[in-house]
A = this chain, B = another copy of it.
Amino acid sequence: MGKKIVTITRQYGSGGREIGKRLAEQLGVEFFDNKLLDHAADHSGIHKSHFEENDEKRPNSFLYLLSTTYGQGGVPFDDTLFFAQLNSIQKIASEQSCVIIGRCADYALRDFEGVVNIFICAPFDDRVKRAIEVYDIAEKHAADYVKRIDKQRTSYYNYYTDKRWGAPSNYHLCLDSSALGIDGSVTLLKQFLDDFYKK
């Protein structure tokens, strides 16, 4: 049987991470969210804190590019981090079944066989609520915070890939997690993956 490789792109506060984690458990495969940063740090020799600081953030201005530290071969340090992460994603997916959250994994694995790309979204108000309840974001800042993280992720993806973040044509399935809730979403997506890998 071939490998099962699932990438999950998620709007902030949509429950995409939670859904991915449970799917990995149900599929019996390894789950990569922040663990991907450990892998990239271990394999690149760059300290994990750099991956954490720059996680899913694009270089954000011309001035920043001017002042950025250059890595190997004159490549901006942000790009070095991106490519180290890309290498990790490809190495992981070539070795084992897995569920990977964010980090342009769908793009990194665009030429791999057996990859299923999923996008999880939810209505804005639901995501603000989840930011407050699950991620402990202060209520008065939560709406702005949700917008900012989405913007960061969109910007990072659109900067490093030739695709548009959240365009349905990038994904096999996009799901609004509020339609069935987290449990219901996991059940439906498990069904989808079983059907897909049976084909």
Contact = CB atoms under 8 A, between A and B. Distances in A.
Interface in A179-199: 179-181, 184, 187-188, 191-192, 195-196, 199
Contacts of A171: 174, 176
A1 interface: no
A174 B168 CA distance: 7
A175 interface: yes
A187 B188 CA distance: 11
Contact of A188 (B119, B181, B192): B192
A168 to B, nearest CB: 4
A76 interface: no
Interface string A64-91: 0000000000000000000000000000
B199 A168 contact: no
Contact of A167 (B166, B179, B195, B196): B166
Contacts of A195: 180, 184, 187-188
A169 B173 CA distance: 13
Interface in A130-189: 166-169, 171-176, 179-181, 184, 187-188
A167 B174 CA distance: 10
Interface of A: 116, 119, 121, 123, 166-169, 171-176, 179-181, 184, 187-188, 191-192, 195-196, 199
11 contacts: A116-B179, A119-B174, A166-B167, A168-B176, A169-B176, A171-B176, A172-B179, A173-B174, A173-B179, A179-B192, A180-B199
Given A166-B167, A172-B175, A184-B199, 4 more contacts: A166-B168, A168-B174, A180-B199, A188-B188
